[in-house]
Each structure stands twice: as C-alpha cells, then as structure tokens.
A = this chain, B = another copy of it.
Amino acid sequence: MDLLKDFEAGKRPALARAISIVENQRTGFLDLLNRLYPRIGRAHRIGITGPPGAGKSTLTAALIAHYRSRGETVGVIAVDPTSPFTGGALLGDRIRMNDIAMDEGVFIRSMATRGSLGGLALTTKEVADVMDAFGFDRIIVETVGVGQSELDIAAAADTTVVVLVPESGDGIQAMKAGLMEAADLFVINKSDRPGADRLARDISTMLHFRSGQMLRNVPAHHGVDMKRIRARARGELLEPEPGADGAVAAWEIPVLKTIAETGEGVDALAAALERHRDWLNESGELSRRRRQRLTERVREEVARSVQRSVWVDRGGEAELERALPELEAGRLTPYEVAARILSG
C-alpha cells in the first residue's frame, strides 16, 4: 500500500488522503484504520466546545500558537455546527485559521456534520485516530456544544474544555446539564466583558455543589468550602485536595479566564491542560477512560457494520421501499416490515 508508506514517511498528502478515506468510508477504510491502529495513543486529544460565538476558534488558534512556539505539532478537527445560523460566524473564524494552516506543523480538517455515513461521533474519533497515528502531539477537536452529539464528540477527547462568555451567565441554568457533565475545564473567554466574575463564581458554586452532592471523585468529608470556591472563581489553579486514603486526588475542575483575541490567559490554559493530562496518567483515569472507549468503539463498529450489512449489502433499503405502500395503508406494521428486512 503506497498510501501507508507515504503516510509513515510523514507526507501530508498521504495524511489528507487517509482522512478522506476514513471520513467517507471509502473501500478499504476499515483495513486502513486497522493498520494505523498500533500507532495511535500518543497524542493528547483536546476537545473544545461551547455555545456559538464563545470564541472557540480564536481560542483554538491561540492554543496552536502556544504549542507551535514550543515545537509541538497540532492537528485540528473542526466540526461544523448543524445550524445554518452559525455557519457564517464559524466560516469567518476558519478563514483566519487558514493562515495558521500554512504552517507545516499544523493540519486543519473541517468535518461535514450532515451525511456522515457511520455517525459523526464515530467518524470524528476515527479521523482523530488518523492524525494521532500520523504523529501530531496535540489534536484539538472543536465543536459547537449545543446538541448532545456535538457534546459527545468533545467529550471523547482526553481533556474537554467548555468555553463560555460572560453573557452565557443567564443561560447556564438551561444548558448546564450536558456541559457540566462533559467539562474537564471551564474557560470564560472574552473575560474583559462585564459579568465574567459573576459567571466564574456561578460555575464554581455549581461545580462544588455538584461534587459535594454526588460524592463523585470526591472524598467523603468534602463539604462546602467557600475559600476554594472563591479561589477557583478567581481563576487560580488550585492544588487538588488530598484523597482520603492518600491516593491521587480527584480532579478539581478549574474555571479559567481568557481573552483569546489578545492571548491573555492562554498560557494558564495550556498549563491547566498539561496538569489535567498528568492527572489522567497518575490517577489511573486514563486507563479507565481508555478501557471504556475501547469497548464503546467495538460497539460502535458492530452497529455500523451491521447497519451496512442489513441496509446496503442485503438490500434492506429496497425492501423498505417496496413495503412502504402497505406500511402507509396500515396493512403491515413497522415490526412486520422490520422482521421481513431482517430475514431477507
């Protein structure tokens, strides 16, 4: 396979082609993923999500600059929002990002959200695998954190950053559920605008309340500690509290402030990302997450493979098409049609 040879030699056109094969599930994509598989697992995968207009792309650009100045290479996967509203804004950001893309140490790929054959979440992870196998040090996956699927994509990273802006404050009640679950780090971007401190305090209080309530990753004696809440709300990087049994402590989700446009706070964000990566390694959380992801990947691949087999290879689509008039007339139930397709 010439492609694989070129890929292993670090040639960018081979990377681009490999990604296209995987993204569009062209013939041989599973074979390719299988061959690349032994090479993955080295990159730090960072998910960046949040509402439209939070400055995710600008923050991504700032992080790229940070990593490049340290000689690290960066792969970026930008997942298009499903809403046509936000298409315009993101397009603007992306053009700015194209300047960065001239750098040989950076590779940017946009993913279409519609028409992804195997499900967007799975395909995005597989494109990240390809970048990982190519040897990028950091892989940043940027998604709009509105729908659950977009959140799932970001949450599939090693470290998930939820980016908000001061104006997000009043909306946090509404959107918190999914975002709170997904976040390893919070960033309040455009933090020179009014309301940043209040939002930081609200998030910190909510995080503290949650961890206290749910006793999740938190020692049992953990109570409401306003000093820590306030310190976190000031954007201070707190030392983790010691675990009750002397083990590596729980991860305390930081709330950071940035102004991505000027680069303010980006070094602190990168430091927090590094701390989280270290914590993942030391706490054993990385192994736990990895195991969970491996079994999830097997399930996703089984589902995709079966879907293809039933609907494409074994003519399920044609069978459904044929049954549709009887289905509509009520002469067949959906269950009868399903059974027919499965026996076909």
A328 closest partner in B (C-beta) = B291
- Minimum CB–CB distance for A58 against chain B, Å: 17
8 Å CB interface, A81-129 against B: 81-86
- Minimum CB–CB distance for A174 against chain B, Å: 4
- Minimum CB–CB distance for A27 against chain B, Å: 15
A54 closest partner in B (C-beta) = B174
Q: Are B334 and A85 in contact (CB under 8 A)?
A: no
The docked-state distance in angstroms from the alpha carbon of A38 to that of B332 is 9
Residue A310 at the chain B interface, CB threshold 8 Å: yes
Q: Which residues from B are CB-within-8-Å of A280?
A: none
Given A147-B178, A320-B298, A335-B301, A342 contacting B170 (CB threshold 8 A): no
Given A147-B177, A306-B310, A341-B302, A294 contacting B327 (CB threshold 8 A): yes
Q: Which residues from B are CB-within-8-Å of A85?
A: 176-177, 210
Residue A238 at the chain B interface, CB threshold 8 Å: no
A30 closest partner in B (C-beta) = B335
8 Å CB interface, A184-229 against B: 210, 213-214
- Minimum CB–CB distance for A254 against chain B, Å: 21
Q: Are A38 and B330 in contact (CB under 8 A)?
A: yes
Residue A262 at the chain B interface, CB threshold 8 Å: no
Q: Are A82 and B327 in contact (CB under 8 A)?
A: no
Interface size class of A (residues with CB under 8 A): 35 or more
8 Å CB interface, A293-343 against B: 294-295, 297-299, 301-303, 305-307, 310, 316, 320, 323-324, 327-328, 330, 333-339, 341-342
Q: Which residues from B are CB-within-8-Å of A47?
A: none
8 Å CB interface, A144-194 against B: 144, 146-149, 167-178, 180-181
Interface of A is mostly: helix
Residue A290 at the chain B interface, CB threshold 8 Å: yes
Indicate how many identical chains form the complex.
2
Q: Which residues from B are CB-within-8-Å of A10?
A: none
Q: Which residues from B are CB-within-8-Å of A305?
A: 338-339, 342
Q: Which residues from B are CB-within-8-Å of A330?
A: 37-38, 41
A-B contact pairs, 29 of them (CB 8 A): A30-B335, A33-B333, A34-B333, A34-B336, A38-B330, A51-B173, A52-B174, A52-B177, A81-B177, A85-B210, A146-B177, A147-B177, A148-B149, A168-B170, A169-B170, A170-B170, A170-B171, A171-B171, A171-B172, A290-B328, A294-B324, A294-B327, A297-B334, A298-B320, A298-B323, A298-B338, A298-B341, A301-B334, A305-B342
